[in-house]
Structure formats: structure tokens, C-alpha cells
């Protein structure tokens, strides 16, 4: 069958990907530049029997989505800037109680209401550290409309597989860009559903069965009565004050995301690169253009693009840090992910930052100038 | 009491007892009223979902052997909304405190009422933040004392019944821990009512509210409920002077109105059918 190419906005691709993955519930509160995700969900969910609900605020948006997931539906909520901040407490709840959930953050300029209609990548640390406590979750960053579709499918799969919230960290540029996309047929991408309890043994809502990565999930109303709480809890889900239990539980929640199969990244012109740009999301598009231009002039530069932002692609960055002369982390903020790269590089290579937080994307010529400066001073 | 122990064995997670409540706290009485209502109605426990927020009252959820969800402070109604929309067959009961429901969760409370979604909300109203040690709440009476109102509360209090009625709740009742029988009946009617129902359960926190306000021990506080709360119809017959220092309990609202998940699925079914037919 000849597949038709469509012209689609990033935010719509997100909703299409969510539906492809089986989303049947969306709850949220409108905010630029994420609003189209709510609007498209309101239009499309009922066509497949799914429910859309506009809640009274972003806190209600994520809370209702967690409730829906507990009742067995694949659920999503989307927001930007101030709304993402409001979601933090209940994002932590989903981490702690291990609820599959997809949260989209279409980044805009901050702090505060900031620059509602302009882009930014300044939430990258907030995704990981914004909710209190030692948070661990998965964060994915698409750099195109097509990738927004595929990563949304992936986000649902990871959420179900690892019983965790997954954040899709996109930005105003990707969310509002219109690009060509060819959608996959149903069945072309594998869809993962959370594993139900095993019938041959008593259900342990927060105990991991041999051979499994995470506890099995019984939706409320399916015949397994148990407790879910954001407090530290024992295997039955009842609150526990035991420090030994707290230690083991937090370790388990952290360690389940150390699985290498979660980590995705892309390398471009890296084989013989002496100097490397590290960029994600829309910024990586300018970086590709810059690498092409620099290569044409004989500069040995490459691009490393993390797709999984958290957990960070530590092994890959570690390997690069031991091979190249320098890494330039380019991001639309005053210096955030660069801290993670510096931590991993641990002084083995020169790590620098190229960034700005005024709503404007980083332009290819800025990358080119930065690299030339480096090579000239070498 | 043999009846009580039967209910405990049938519906409590006895392995998690004893509970955390102070001796004399009325949260146990209200929790029992909820369980008694569920038992009297013969609800299938597999379909009963209890959602609670944060507070002493909200700890009730964990002791009950249903599908229980102990959420974040104030957000129980939003979680419950997601559950009910996802599976309207479930009997979803929300357990919440006065602070949980009407301070931090006030926004979710009024909007759940406005939607008239079929949830049953039981507010354990002890007029204080119990769990954090006795700070004033939106239902602490004017001039009463709390640890954060050491010179008397200058805030004015919510009348929860009027608040939720104004917001659109379609069943509203007030009971007290003393009038436990009536309280159970209101909860039963609230559960069977189709739409958003709120039962305010006037409760006592002898440890903090009682002590700060010199109201005596746990028994004296329950006695106060007996002396102060008058059944609504009797209250209405009192003249203005006789009403001083008295409060009404009883049923305040019981009306029929379109229910949210009914409307939602009617719309979804229509859209889905049209979509499948290609129109
Ligand atoms: C976001 C947040 N803010 C504050 C708290 C602290 N806190 C826990 S319970 C509570 C008040 C509970 O009072 P109420 O709802 O009236 O219930 P009670 O304990 O009196 O039964 C507060 C302020 C919290 N857990 N979370
Ligand atoms: S502090 Fe008050 S509300 Fe909390 S358990 Fe003790 S008496 Fe009950």
C-alpha cells in the first residue's frame, strides 16, 4: 500500500502517536504552546471511545490522568512552563507509586509566564529535579514532527514497561513546526501493555516477580483490592516508616531505569570528530546544518544528540569524553545539560556551553563561529 | 460490640491495625459509618474505590479492604474524577478532611460539584488541621484558637454545606459523629445518589482542637455535638433567638440533574458511531 505523506504540526503528531500507542484518556489545562495537544485530543479521543476532560488546573490535569491510569487506561497530559511547574508534586506521586503516565512539556521561555509564544530548553533540569526528593523518571526529546510521533509511541511503551511517568520534552519550535510525516500502519510498531498479575500466586502490588523488571499492575476494579500511596510502602502498598524498607524501595525505583534499552541517542559525523556538539530537540537541527557546513570546510566536527535526556546517555558521553578534544553543549538556556555533561566528562575533555534564553533558536552560524573560534585558538 | 467486630473482619485490613488515630478521635466513628453504609447497601467490595487526600482523616483509606488510593494533599477529587471517567461502573468514595477538601483542594471540590460527576465525598470536618498539629483551617470558627491562630482566628469560616450547594452538588447532607446512625443513612443515600454528593461529617479532634479551645475531653466534645446540632426540620422551627449557638444537621440538597459520565459517554458513543460510519 502506498502511504500518503501528510503535513502535520508537532503537537498533532504527539496526539497521533499517543492514539497509536493506545491513549484512551487525556486530562489537562490549556496553555501556550501546548494547547493544540489538548484540542486535538478533545477532537480525536471520542472517535476511538476515549475520554477527554478539561480540568480546573494543571494539578487536576495530572491527578486525573494518574487516576485514569490506575483504572487501567493509557493516559496523557500536556502542558508548558507554568503548568509544568504545577504538575511537579503529582509527577513525584506517579514516580513513587509507579504509575504509567505520559506528560508532555512543550517548552516556552521562562522563568514564570516568561515568553509564552517563544521557544526554550530551560526545563531540562526541572524534568529531572523539579519534583522534590530523589526523583527518577524517563525524559525523551524529539527533534522533528516525525520523531515526535515515534517518541510519543515510545513514551507510552516505556511508561507501561517500567511503570513510570515518562516526560516528552519538546519545545515551541518542534510543537508548532509543520513538517511532512508518513504515519505507520497499525501493527507496524510494537505496542506494550503493562503486565497483569500472575494467576498462580498471591498478588504483590509492589513486589517484583522473578524475571520481571517491575511489579505487575492490577487496575482498580479488576478483582485485586490493594492500597496505593505516595508514602513509602511495603509490598502490599501499605505505608511503612521502616528506613530499611525506604532504602530498598527507592533503590528499586532508581535501578529499574538503569536498563540500557531505555537509552537512545544519535551520532552524526562522529567517527573522526575532534570537536563535538552535543544538542537535543530543535537545537540539534541547527547543529546538523552547522556540522555540514564545517565539514565542507574541512573541520572535523560531529554531533551527539541525546534522545533520552534522562536517564542521561552516560556510557556514550563517557566514551566521547575520552576520545575528543572538546564538547560544546548547545541548548536554549543559560547552561543546564552542560552540567550533566561536565559531570560525566570529569575533566577529561574541554566542555563548553553555547546557549541563550531569549526565545530565539540557536542559529547554525553561531555553531560555526563557535567551532571556528575553537579551532583557531587550538 | 459484635456488629463492629464483624464489620472490622469483613472490611478492614486487620493486619494494618491498630490505626494511627489518637484515643478519642472521631475519625474512627465516621470511618465505621462509611463501612456500615457500604455493608447495608451490599456493594460489591471489588467495585468500591476509596480515594483520599492527606490528613489524619485521609489515612482511613489504607485500613479499608477495597481498592484504596491515598493521594496528595487536596487532590483526591481530581484523582477520583480520572478513575470514575475511566470506569463509571465503580463506586467511588472520596474521604477527605476539612483542610484537604476546602483549603488546598477547594478548587477541585467546587469543580467536581459543578460537573455533577457521580462521586461520593465524605468530609471529616474537625475544624482544624489535625495531622500537622492544630493549625486553623477554612472551617475553624471565627475567634477560635489554633497553633497558627494563637490570638484567635480572624478568618471567617466556610459553611461547607452552602459552599458545595452553591457549586452545584446534587446531594448534600450534614451529620455528626454523635448522630452516627443518621450519618450512616446520609452516606447510604449519598452513595446511591447519581451525581456529586457531599456528606459533611462533623468530627472532633480532642488532641488539638479540643485542647486549644478548652472543650474538654473526647466525650465532652461528642456531648457538645449532641447539645449543639439540631435536626434540620426542628432547627427550622426555632426562632432566631433559639437558634443562637445551634447548628442544623440533616439533608440539605437532594435533586436530580444530568450526571457527568452519563453525558460524556453519550457524547463519546455518538462521536464513535459517526466516526465508524464514516460521517
Ligand atoms: C502540599 C502539602 N502541603 C501541606 C502538607 C501538610 N499537611 C498534611 S495534612 C495537612 C492538613 C490536614 O488537615 P485536614 O485535611 O483538615 O485533615 P485532618 O488531619 O484534620 O483529619 C497538612 C497541611 C502536605 N502533606 N502537602
Ligand atoms: S490529631 Fe486530631 S484528627 Fe488527628 S488523629 Fe489525633 S484527634 Fe484525630
Q: Which CATH number characterizes residue B151's domain?
A: 3.40.50.970
- Note which residues in 153-212 of chain A have CB less than 8 A from chain B: none
Question: Ligand 1: distance of its center to the CA of A230 in Å?
Answer: 14
Which candidate in B58, B61, B74, B83 is best for mutational testing of the A interface (most A CBs within 10 A)?
Answer: B83
Would you call A59 and B78 a contact, using CB atoms and an 8 Å cutoff?
Answer: yes
When pLDDT is averaged across residues A171-177 and rounded to a whole number, the result is: 97
When pLDDT is averaged across residues B253-278 and rounded to a whole number, the result is: 97
Q: Supply the pTM of this predicted model.
A: 0.98
Question: Ligand 1: distance of its center to the CA of B218 in Å?
Answer: 21
- Atom index in ligand 1 nearest the CA of residue B129 equals 13
- CA quadruple A13, B84, A165, A56: dihedral positive or negative? positive
In 3D, which of B22, B28, B25 has the Cα closest to residue B222?
A: B25
Give A221-252 pLDDT, tens digit per residue.
999 999 999 999 999 999 999 999 999 999 99
Burial class (CB in 10 A: 0-12, 13-18, 19+), B46: middle
Q: Is A75 on the interface with B (CB under 8 A)?
A: yes
Is residue A1's pLDDT more than 70? no
Task: Give the gap in angstroms from C-alpha A227 to the nearest C-alpha of chain B.
Answer: 5
Mutation to probe ligand 1, out of B131, B157, B158 (largest number of atoms < 8 A from CB): B131
Question: Ligand 2: distance of its center to the CA of B127 in Å?
Answer: 11
Pairing of β B91-97 and β B67-70: unpaired
Instruction: Domain ranges for chain A, please list them.
Output: 5-182, 266-377
Q: In the prediction, which pLDDT does A378 show?
A: 85
Is residue B204's pLDDT more than 70? yes
Q: In the prediction, which pLDDT does B97 show?
A: 98
Q: Which residue of B has its CA nearest to A60?
A: B78
Would you call B267 and A46 a contact, using CB atoms and an 8 Å cutoff?
Answer: yes
In 3D, which of A313, A10, A254, A264 has the Cα closest to residue A136?
A: A254
The C-alpha R_g of chain A, in whole angstroms, comes to 21
Cβ neighbours of residue A26 under 8 Å, at least 6 residues apart? A18, A38, A41, A42, A45, A50, A51, A52, A53, A65, A75, A76, A77, A78
Task: Give the gap in angstroms from C-alpha B89 to the nearest C-alpha of chain A.
Answer: 9
Question: Ligand 1: distance of its center to the CA of B124 in Å?
Answer: 12
Task: Give the gap in angstroms from C-alpha A177 to the nearest C-alpha of chain B.
Answer: 28
Where b means 16+ CB within 10 Å and e means fewer, B145-184 reads bbeebeeebebebbebbebbbebbbbbbbbbbbbbbebbb
Q: Percent of chain B, pLDDT > 70?
A: 99
* A116 phi/psi in degrees, rounded to 5: -60, -30
Mutation to probe ligand 1, out of B26, B95, B99 (largest number of atoms < 8 A from CB): B99
Q: In the prediction, which pLDDT does A3 show?
A: 81
Mutation to probe ligand 2, out of B21, B29, B147 (largest number of atoms < 8 A from CB): B21
Ligand nearest to the CA of B148: 1
Host domain of residue B84: 3-276
Nearest CA, atom 12, ligand 1: B55
Q: Which residues of B touch A53 (CB under 8 A)?
A: 81-82, 85, 264
Task: Give the gap in angstroms from C-alpha B215 to the nearest C-alpha of chain A.
Answer: 32
Q: In the prediction, which pLDDT does B1 show?
A: 47
The CATH class, in words, for A266-377 is alpha beta
* Cα-based angle A309, A314, A319 (whole degrees, multiple of 5): 130
Q: How would residue B3 be classed by pLDDT, with cut points 50, 70 and 90?
A: low
Question: Ligand 1: distance of its center to the CA of B106 in Å?
Answer: 13
Separation between Cα atoms, residue B51 and residue B86, nearest integer Å: 15
Would you call B82 and A68 a contact, using CB atoms and an 8 Å cutoff?
Answer: yes
Q: Which residues of A touch B105 (CB under 8 A)?
A: none
Q: Does domain A5-182 have CATH number 3.10.310.30?
A: no
Q: In the prediction, which pLDDT does B279 show?
A: 78
When pLDDT is averaged across residues A67-78 and rounded to a whole number, the result is: 99
Q: In the prediction, which pLDDT does A105 show?
A: 98
Q: Would the CB of B25 count as within 6 Å of ligand 1?
A: no
Q: Would the CB of B105 count as within 6 Å of ligand 1?
A: no
Q: Which residue of B has its CA nearest to A25?
A: B86
Could you report the predicted ipTM of this complex, rounded to two decimals?
A: 0.97
Cβ neighbours of residue B217 under 8 Å, at least 6 residues apart? B24, B206, B210
When pLDDT is averaged across residues B215-222 and rounded to a whole number, the result is: 96
Is residue B2's pLDDT more than 60? no
Is residue B258's pLDDT more than 60? yes
Q: How would residue A268 be classed by pLDDT, with cut points 50, 70 and 90?
A: very high
Give B30-89 pLDDT, tens digit per residue.
999 999 999 999 999 999 999 999 999 999 999 999 999 999 999 999 999 999 999 999
HEC readout, chain A: CCCCEEEEEHHHHHHHHHHHHCEEEEEECCCCCCHHHHHHHHHHHHHHCCEEEECCCHHHHHHHHHHHHHCCCEEEEEECHHHHHHCHHHHHHHHHHCCCEEEEEEECECCCCCECCCCCCCCHHHHHHCCCCCCCCEEECCCCHHHHHHHHHHHHHHHHHHCCEEEEEEEHHHHHCEEEEECCCCCCCCCCCCCCCCCCCCCCCCCCCCCCCCCCCCCCCCCCCCEEECCCECCCCCECCCHHHHHHHHHHHHHHHHCHHHCCEEEECCCCCCEEEEECCHHHHHHHHHHHHHHHCCCCEEEEEECEEECCCHHHHHHHHCCCCEEEEEECCCCCHHHHHHHHHCCCCEEEEEECCCCCCCCHHHHHHHHHHHHHHC
When pLDDT is averaged across residues A73-88 and rounded to a whole number, the result is: 98
Give A250-264 pLDDT, tens digit per residue.
999 999 999 999 999
Residues A25, A54 contacting (CB under 8 angstroms)? no
When pLDDT is averaged across residues B260-264 and rounded to a whole number, the result is: 98
Of B68, B79, B108, the CB nearest to A66: B79
Q: Would the CB of B144 count as within 6 Å of ligand 2?
A: no
Q: Would the CB of B73 count as within 6 Å of ligand 1?
A: yes
Nearest CA, atom 4, ligand 2: B130
Mutation to probe ligand 1, out of B20, B53, B55 (largest number of atoms < 8 A from CB): B55
Work out how many domains chain B is built from and give that number: 1
Q: Would the CB of B57 count as within 6 Å of ligand 1?
A: yes
Would you call B107 and A60 a contact, using CB atoms and an 8 Å cutoff?
Answer: yes
Give B111-169 pLDDT, tens digit per residue.
999 999 999 999 999 999 999 999 999 999 999 999 999 999 999 999 999 999 999 99
Separation between Cα atoms, residue B31 and residue B28, nearest integer Å: 5
Q: In the prediction, which pLDDT does B179 show?
A: 98
When pLDDT is averaged across residues A73-87 and rounded to a whole number, the result is: 98
Is residue A99's pLDDT more than 50? yes
Q: Which residue of B has its CA nearest to A229?
A: B70
Which candidate in B86, B95, B269 is best for mutational testing of the A interface (most A CBs within 10 A)?
Answer: B86
The mean predicted confidence, pLDDT, of chain B is 97
The mean predicted confidence, pLDDT, of chain A is 97
* Cα-based angle A121, A127, A128 (whole degrees, multiple of 5): 125
**Strand pairing partners for B254?**
B171
Question: Ligand 1: distance of its center to the CA of B144 in Å?
Answer: 19
Would you call A226 and B81 a contact, using CB atoms and an 8 Å cutoff?
Answer: no
Amino acid at each position: 500500500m502506498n502511504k500518503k505523506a501528510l503535513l502535520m504540526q508537532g503537537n498533532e503528531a504527539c496526539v497521533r502517536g499517543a492514539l497509536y500507542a493506545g491513549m484512551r484518556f487525556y486530562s489537562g489545562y490549556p496553555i501556550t504552546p501546548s494547547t493544540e495537544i489538548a484540542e486535538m485530543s478533545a477532537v480525536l479521543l471520542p472517535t476511538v471511545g476515549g475520554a477527554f476532560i478539561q480540568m480546573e488546573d494543571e494539578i487536576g490535569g495530572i491527578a486525573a490522568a494518574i487516576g485514569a491510569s490506575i483504572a487501567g487506561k493509557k493516559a496523557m497530559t500536556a502542558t508548558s512552563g507554568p503548568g509544568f511547574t504545577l504538575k511537579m508534586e503529582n509527577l513525584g506521586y506517579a514516580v513513587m507509586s509507579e504509575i504509567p503516565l505520559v506528560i508532555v512539556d512543550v517548552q516556552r521561555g521562562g522563568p514564570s509566564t516568561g515568553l509564552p509564544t517563544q521557544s526554550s530548553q530551560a526545563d531540562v533540569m526541572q524534568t529531572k529535579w523539579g519534583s522534590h526528593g530523589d526523583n527518577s523518571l524517563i525524559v525523551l526529546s524529539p527533534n522533528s514532527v516525525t520523531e515526535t510521533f515515534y517518541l510519543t509511541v515510545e513514551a507510552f511503551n516505556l511508561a507501561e514497561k517500567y511503570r513510570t511517568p515518562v516526560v516528552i520534552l519538546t519545545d515551541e519550535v518542534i510543537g508548532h513546526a509543520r513538517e511532512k510525516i508518513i504515519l505507520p500502519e497499525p501493527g507496524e510498531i510494537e505496542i506494550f501493555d503493562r503486565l497483569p498479575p500472575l494467576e498462580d500466586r498471591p498478588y504483590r502490588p509492589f513486589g517484583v516477580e522473578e524475571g520481571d523488571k517491575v511489579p505487575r499492575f492490577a487496575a482498580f476494579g479488576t478483582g485485586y483490592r490493594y492500597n496505593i500511596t505516595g508514602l513509602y510502602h511495603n509490598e502490599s502498598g501499605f505505608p511503612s516508616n521502616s528506613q530499611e524498607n525506604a532504602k530498598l524501595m527507592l533503590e528499586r525505583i532508581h535501578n529499574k531505569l538503569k536498563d540500557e534499552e531505555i537509552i537512545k541517542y544519535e551520532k552524526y559525523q562522529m567517527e573522526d570528530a575532534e570537536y563535538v556538539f552535543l544538542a537535543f530537540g530543535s537545537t540539534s537541527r541547527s547543529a546538523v546544518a552547522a556540522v555540514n557546513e564545517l565539514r565542507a570546510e574541512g573541520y572535523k566536527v560531529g554531533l551527539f544528540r541525546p534522545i533520552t535526556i534522562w536517564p542521561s546517555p552516560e556510557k556514550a558521553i563517557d566514551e566521547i569524553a575520552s576520545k575528543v578534544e572538546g564538547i560544546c553543549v548547545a541548548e536554549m538556556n543559560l547552561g543546564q545539560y552542560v552540567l550533566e555533561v561536565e559531570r560525566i566528562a570529569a575533566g577529561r575533555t574541554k566542555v563548553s556551553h553555547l546557549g541563550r534564553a531569549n526565545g530565539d533558536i540557536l542559529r547554525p552560524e553561531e555553531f560555526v563561529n563557535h567551532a571556528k573560534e575553537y579551532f583557531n585558538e587550538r | 460490640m459484635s456488629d463492629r467486630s464483624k464489620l472490622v473482619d469483613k472490611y478492614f485490613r486487620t493486619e494494618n491495625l491498630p490505626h494511627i488515630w489518637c484515643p478519642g478521635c472521631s475519625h474512627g466513628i465516621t470511618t465505621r459509618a462509611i463501612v456500615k453504609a457500604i455493608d447495608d447497601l451490599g456493594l460489591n467490595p471489588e467495585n468500591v474505590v476509596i480515594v483520599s487526600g492527606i490528613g489524619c482523616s485521609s489515612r482511613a483509606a489504607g485500613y479499608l479492604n477495597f481498592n484504596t488510593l491515598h493521594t496528595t494533599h487536596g487532590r483526591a477529587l481530581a484523582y477520583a474524577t480520572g478513575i470514575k471517567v475511566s470506569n463509571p461502573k465503580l463506586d467511588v468514595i472520596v474521604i477527605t478532611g476539612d483542610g484537604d477538601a476546602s483549603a488546598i483542594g477547594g478548587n477541585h471540590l467546587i469543580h467536581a460539584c459543578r460537573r455533577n460527576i457521580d462521586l461520593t465525598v465524605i468530609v471529616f470536618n474537625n475544624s482544624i488541621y489535625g495531622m500537622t498539629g492544630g493549625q486553623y483551617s477554612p472551617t475553624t470558627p471565627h475567634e477560635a484558637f489554633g497553633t497558627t491562630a494563637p490570638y484567635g482566628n480572624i478568618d471567617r469560616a466556610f459553611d461547607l454545606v452552602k459552599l458545595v450547594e452553591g457549586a452545584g452538588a446534587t446531594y448534600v447532607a450534614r451529620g455528626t459523629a454523635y448522630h452516627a446512625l443518621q450519618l450512616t443513612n446520609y452516606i447510604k443515600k449519598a452513595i446511591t445518589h447519581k451525581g456529586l454528593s457531599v456528606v459533611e461529617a462533623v468530627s472532633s479532634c480532642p488532641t488539638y482542637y479540643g485542647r486549644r479551645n478548652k472543650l474538654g475531653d473526647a466525650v465532652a466534645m461528642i456531648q457538645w455535638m449532641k447539645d449543639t446540632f439540631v435536626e434540620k426540620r426542628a432547627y427550622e422551627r426555632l426562632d432566631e433567638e433559639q437558634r443562637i449557638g445551634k447548628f442544623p444537621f440533616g439533608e440539605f440538597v437532594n435533586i436530580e440533574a444530568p450526571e457527568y459520565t452519563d453525558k460524556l459517554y453519550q457524547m463519546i458513543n455518538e462521536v464513535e458511531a459517526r466516526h465508524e460510519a464514516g460521517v
